[in-house]
Structure formats: C-alpha cells, structure tokens
Amino acid sequence: MNAINTAAGATEWRIRMSDGSSAILPPESSLVTRIYISIKSFFKNIILIFWRFLEKAWIIGMNEPRKVIHCIKVGIALSVVSLFYYMKPLYEGVGGTAMWAVLTVVVVFEYTVGATLYKCLNRAAGTFLAGFLAIGIHWIANQSGKRFEPIIMGASIFILASVATFSRFIPAVKARFDYGAMIFILTFTLVSISGYRVENLLNMAHERVSTIIIGASLCVITSILIFPIWAGEELHKLVISNLEKQAESLDCCVAEYFSDSEDTTTNTKKMLAYKCVLNSKASEETMANFARWEPAHGHFNFQHPWKYYLKISALMRSCACCIEALTSCINQKDQASEVLRKQLNNTCQQLSSSTSEILKELAMNMKTMRKSSRIDILIQEKNSAIQELETQLKQVSGLLIVPKGAKNEEKPVVTTGNVIPMVEIIPAATFASLVIEIAVRIEGVVDAVEELSKMAKFKIEDAEMIKQSKPDIKIIN
C-alpha cells in the first residue's frame, strides 16, 4: 500500500492488486456521513413498506369492491350518528349520552346484513332485559334499607352474571344469542353499580337504551338500503361454487392419473380445488347462522331452509376426503401396472365424467332454483359405469400372481404374458375403488339437494328449457 500526495495536498492511498495493477482505496467516511446514510435508508425503507401496503390495499379493493362499499357504509353511518353529538338540540334531546349511539355503530356494524341484524337485535334485547332487571332489583334493594341494599345488589350481580356466563356454553344459546348474553352481563353490571350512587336511575337507563336503539336502527337502515350484502346469498353462492370446484377437481384427478405425462404441475390448481370444500366449514356455519336473521330478499324467503346448505356441504366434504386420497394415488401411479391402467382408463374416466356431470347439474339447479329432469338420466349413466368398473375389477383377480415369499423366499416372482404381480395391481385397484366410492357418496348430495328443492319450493323446469339443455343430434345419410 503506497501513499501518494496529490496536487490538492490530500493524501491518496493506492493498493497493489495480485495482477500487478493498483487501485485507489476510497477514504473512510466521516461519522456525520454515516449517520446521514443510515437515516436516509431508514426513511427509504419506511416509504417502501408504505408503498407496498398501498399496492396490496389497491389490489384488494379492485378484486373485492364490496369491501370498499362496506367501508363507505360504515363511514356514512358514523357521520350521521355523530350529528347527535355535534348538534346541540339533538345532543340535549338524548340527555348527553350520544356517545353510546356512536359506540353502538362502531361495535355492531358488520359486513353482511344478517351479521348486522344479529348484533343489533342481540344488543337491543340484552340491553333492555338487563336494564329492566337492574331497575327492578334496585327498587327491591332500596325498599330493604341501607343495610341490606349493597348485599342484595352484590348477590344479584353474582347470580345473574354467573347464570348468563354459563348460558354462553349452551350450544343453542351460543349459536344465536352469545353476543346478547355478553351485552346483558355488561349492561346489568354497569347499571347496577352506577345505580348505587345515582338518584334518578330510571332516567339514566332510558337515555342509554334510547341512544343504543338509535345507533342500532341507523346501522340496520344503512346496511339494508345501501348496496346490501346478504349472508344467505353469500352462502348460496359458496355452496354452488364448491359443487363446481369439486366436479372440476374429480375430472382433473382421474385424467391426470391415466395420462402418460409425468408433469403434474399443469393442473395442480384444478386438482386441489377440493380443498376449498374442506376448508369452508367454519364460514358456511357462520353464514347460515347470520342468514336466519335476514328478512326476505331475492329468491329467499324469511323461513328459507338454510340448514340444508350445511347438510349438503357436510356430504360434499365426505366426497372431498376421497378426492384427497385420489391425489395421493397420483404420486404413486408409476407403481401401478401399465396394462391394468390402460384397461381401466376408459371406464374410470366415464364414471368420473358422469359423476362430475351430476355435480355440475346440481350446481345449475341451485343456481337457477329449478328442478331438472336430467339428474335421473345422469344417475342411471353413473350406475351403469359403476357396474362396468366393478366387473372389470373382478376380472383383475384372474391376472394376479401371489408372491411365494412365505414358502420359498429365494424364488423370484416372474410375470409372463398378461399375468400381473399383486404389488402392481393394488395401486390401480385402489384408485378405481376410490372413484366408485366417490360416485356412491354423490347420491347423498343428490338427496340433500332434492330435500332443499322441496323445502325451498324450487320451480319445475319447463319443456322449453329441457329442450334447450338437450344437445342437437344430426343424422347424416
């Protein structure tokens, strides 16, 4: 390393490289420069993170504009209810408790109409019942004298809060009135404790109940009148989508198993579509619970049989479990006999095609809310394909060689002609058996949709629609 004096008087350091050349060694930056670079990179990272967040938010808003609409609806409801706090006549009219209306809007406004109604009605019922009981117990405690008043109030809080909390563990109560039970505990405790020091308890309870009713009513009106999002309609669309995805997944699995290509990445997304059926149980139960609270809308009456959607989904999940087993067979298709795969190819694909057609027809029936006469024809085709495939599986036993390892381990198993070892038959026979099992379980889905059509009073498909659905067959001489 050499030091060379430049014309400016500064010292320039050079370092000799391995090839004989020299390079200038840059001077070490000062403390101020390093601090400046650190601060600059820090703010640059913050801006980059914020920009990525905006990009993701924009993508979500473009893909699901209804979420943006929901946000605007919440803003409208809060802006209107805040007028009770900003405008003096309205503020005095509710006795200075306008903040309870604002809090009600923040707490109960949900994405769907059913969820909003569920929370509004539970909050109103829980508040009214708790306030009524608190006022009654407060009057009894006052009549008992100053000595027993705190004892009665404390005992009532302990008993009612414990009973209400226990009721939240009961499945029927938890499914429909869990939020109301929680509001009951909160309101009863607040009114009982504050009533011990407040003289005019009845007026205070009246003002709070009034403001809560105002906030809840505003939420319901905004949710129903401005681009309503119905939980029942969302459940209806979800079940239809799951039927279509399961049909697509079944077709892709069977086609992939019998294809000669070793690349399984092409149809991976379609094959794994059955996972949407397996993972939608929680959302379906939530939507069905909220849909019960919704008024009549569109094709759905107030007493629409939403529980049958859960039954259909449960039966679909049993079929999806078999499809999941099919996907594991695809990874082991090389272990199956090539001769046997070719022999079962047409029959298995015919069975899976007829089964997927049934699922698609059921999805179309639910989408149009009409009964189709094609279902009976498709079921007959499916049953014929099942019998044909079962016959072929029985014939497989004639091609079987049982290994003789138990008697003579030194003699290897030799295949001659069309005779196939057992280890090569089992994978293909297992796959064919799973296809048959799926086809059999589909009949349960058909029965469940039939029950739904009776309860929901689906219209019968007229002759013109049946004629349009049938393909035109031209005879060429």
Q: Say which residue the tokens 């609806």 belong to.
A: 73
Residue type for 58, please? W
Q: What phi and psi, each to the nearest 5 degrees, are found at residue 370?
A: -130, 150
Beta-strand pair 11-16/2-5: antiparallel
Q: Note the pLDDT of residue 165.
A: 92
Contact 45, 55 (CB under 8 A): no
CA dihedral sign of residues 249, 250, 253, 254: negative
Q: Note the pLDDT of residue 203.
A: 76
Quick one: which H or E segment has residue 459? Answer: strand 459-460
Alpha carbon 232 to its chain centroid, in Å, reads 14
Three-class DSSP category at 428:
helix
Q: First-to-last CA distance in the chain? A: 98
- What span, in angstroms and rounded, lies between the C-alpha atoms of 231 and 464? 33
Q: Note the pLDDT of residue 152.
A: 86
Higher per-residue pLDDT: 399 or 322: 322
- The structure tokens listed for 207 are 């003002």
Q: Give mean pLDDT, residues 119-133.
A: 89
What is the pLDDT confidence band of residue 410, given thresholds at 50, 70 and 90? Answer: very low
Q: Note the pLDDT of residue 18.
A: 72
What is the pLDDT confidence band of residue 109, given thresholds at 50, 70 and 90? Answer: very high
Three-class DSSP category at 3:
strand
Q: Which of 259, 235, 202, 211 is nearest to 100 (CA)?
A: 211
Higher per-residue pLDDT: 118 or 6: 118
Q: Give mean pLDDT, residues 354-380.
A: 89
Q: Which of 123, 102, 86 is nearest to 209 (CA)?
A: 123
Question: Between helices 307-330 and 231-258, what is the axis angle to 10°?
Answer: 20
Alpha carbon 284 to its chain centroid, in Å, reads 7
What is the pLDDT confidence band of residue 406, given thresholds at 50, 70 and 90? Answer: very low
Output the average pLDDT for the chain: 81
Residues 6+ apart with CB under 8 A from 279: none
- The structure tokens listed for 291 are 């849909």
Higher per-residue pLDDT: 97 or 294: 294
Alpha carbon 163 to its chain centroid, in Å, reads 33
CA distances in angstroms from 374 to 131, 243, 461, listed in the order given: 58, 17, 10
Q: Say which residue the tokens 């919440």 belong to.
A: 74
HSE of 28 in the Cβ direction (CA atoms, 13 Å)? Answer: 2
Least confident among 17-26, 183-192, 385-394, 428-437: 17-26
- What span, in angstroms and rounded, lies between the C-alpha atoms of 426 and 432? 10
CA dihedral sign of residues 230, 280, 270, 308: negative
What is the pLDDT confidence band of residue 414, given thresholds at 50, 70 and 90? Answer: very low
Q: Note the pLDDT of residue 411.
A: 41
Q: Which of 343, 334, 353 is nearest to 389 (CA)?
A: 343
Res. 243: pLDDT tops 50:
yes
- What span, in angstroms and rounded, lies between the C-alpha atoms of 237 and 372? 19
Neighbours of 259 (CB within 10 A): 15
Residues 6+ apart with CB under 8 A from 424: 335, 336, 337, 340
- What span, in angstroms and rounded, lies between the C-alpha atoms of 358 and 243? 10
- What span, in angstroms and rounded, lies between the C-alpha atoms of 277 and 322? 12
Residues 6+ apart with CB under 8 A from 244: 359, 360, 363
